[in-house]
Amino acid sequence: MLPDYLLILLQGGIDPNITLDYLLLGYVAMWVIALFYVITLHSRQRNMRQDIALLKQLLEEDDKAK
Q: Is 35 in the site for other proteins (CB under 8 A)?
A: no
**Which of these, 25, 27, 26, 45, lies nearest to 37 by C-alpha position?**
45
CB of 62 to other proteins, least distance (A): 6
Query: How far apart, in whole angstroms, are the C-alpha atoms of residue 62 and residue 53?
Result: 14
Q: Is 62 in the site for other proteins (CB under 8 A)?
A: yes
Query: How far apart, in whole angstroms, are the C-alpha atoms of residue 52 and residue 60?
Result: 12
Q: Rule CB under 8 A: which residues touch other proteins? A: 1-2, 4, 7-8, 10-20, 22-23, 25-27, 29-30, 33-34, 37-38, 41, 44-45, 48-49, 51-52, 55-56, 58-59, 62
